[in-house]
């Protein structure tokens, strides 16, 4: 059923999807009392593929890109595409060398606040990401994902010139050079 919905969505314009309105609020919600609340309730927009709800059609349009895979923001330097303009803005820093986020402990700088926050866990020792298969914990989601490939055997990075596959993109790049 979901694959049918995804197929259907890919063949519709996102602007039409962003106009989808909820027929009703979640059953647990209390009734709207003020005119402003009633107005917002009438304009609640819902994703027809998951439980996402918003009052802004632009937020629903951006959310729908998660389901469709649409990436309308393209880097003019390397042509990599992104689903959100803020992700393109962050990516452009890899080309300009701009690193505006600095660690107050070791003064190392980063292109995004998210990467800085993950880095700071080195200093604090925080490891909030736990492997569901073994007792290991990690400071970042990406390192947990890479670790889980040990358990799953997944090797998603394949050399375009030979049949060798890798668990990490960096290993593929080393292989290619």
Interatomic CA distance for residues 53 and 33, integer angstroms: 20
Interatomic CA distance for residues 146 and 154, integer angstroms: 9
Please check whether residue 47 is in contact with residue 60, taking contact to mean a CB–CB distance below 8 angstroms.
Answer: yes
Interatomic CA distance for residues 55 and 122, integer angstroms: 39
Please check whether residue 5 is in contact with residue 48, taking contact to mean a CB–CB distance below 8 angstroms.
Answer: yes
Interatomic CA distance for residues 71 and 81, integer angstroms: 5
Interatomic CA distance for residues 2 and 25, integer angstroms: 22
Pick one of 3.40.50.880, 3.10.580.10, 3.30.160.60, 3.50.50.60 as the CATH number of 73-124. Answer: 3.30.160.60
- Three-state SS annotation for 118-133: HHHHHHHCCCCEECCC
Domain with CATH 3.30.160.60 in the chain: 73-124, 129-176
Please check whether residue 66 is in contact with residue 83, taking contact to mean a CB–CB distance below 8 angstroms.
Answer: yes
- Domain spanning 129-176, CATH class: alpha beta
Beta-bridge mates of residue 110: 101
Q: Can you give the pLDDT of all 177 residues of the chain as single tens digits?
A: 333 333 333 334 433 433 333 433 333 344 545 665 555 556 899 999 999 999 999 999 999 998 888 999 999 999 999 999 999 999 999 999 999 999 999 999 999 999 999 999 999 999 999 999 999 999 999 999 999 999 999 999 999 999 999 998 889 999 998
pTM of the model: 0.55
């Amino acid at each position: 059923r979901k694959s049918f919905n995804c197929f259907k969505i890919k063949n519709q314009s996102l602007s039409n999807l962003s106009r989808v309105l909820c027929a009703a609020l979640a059953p647990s919600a209390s009734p709207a009392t003020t005119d402003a609340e009633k107005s917002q309730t009438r304009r609640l927009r819902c994703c027809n593929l998951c439980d996402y709800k918003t009052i802004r059609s632009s937020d629903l349009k951006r959310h729908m890109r998660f389901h469709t895979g649409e990436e309308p923001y393209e880097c003019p330097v390397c042509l990599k595409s992104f689903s959100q303009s803020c992700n393109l803005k962050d990516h452009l820093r890899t080309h300009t060398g701009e690193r505006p986020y600095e660690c107050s402990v070791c003064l190392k700088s980063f292109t995004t606040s998210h990467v800085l926050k993950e880095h700071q866990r080195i200093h604090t020792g925080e490891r909030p990401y736990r492997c569901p298969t073994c007792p290991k914990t990690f400071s970042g989601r990406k390192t947990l994902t890479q670790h889980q490939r040990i358990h799953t055997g997944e090797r998603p990075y394949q050399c375009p010139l030979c049949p060798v596959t890798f668990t990490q993109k960096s290993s593929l790049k080393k292989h290619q050079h």
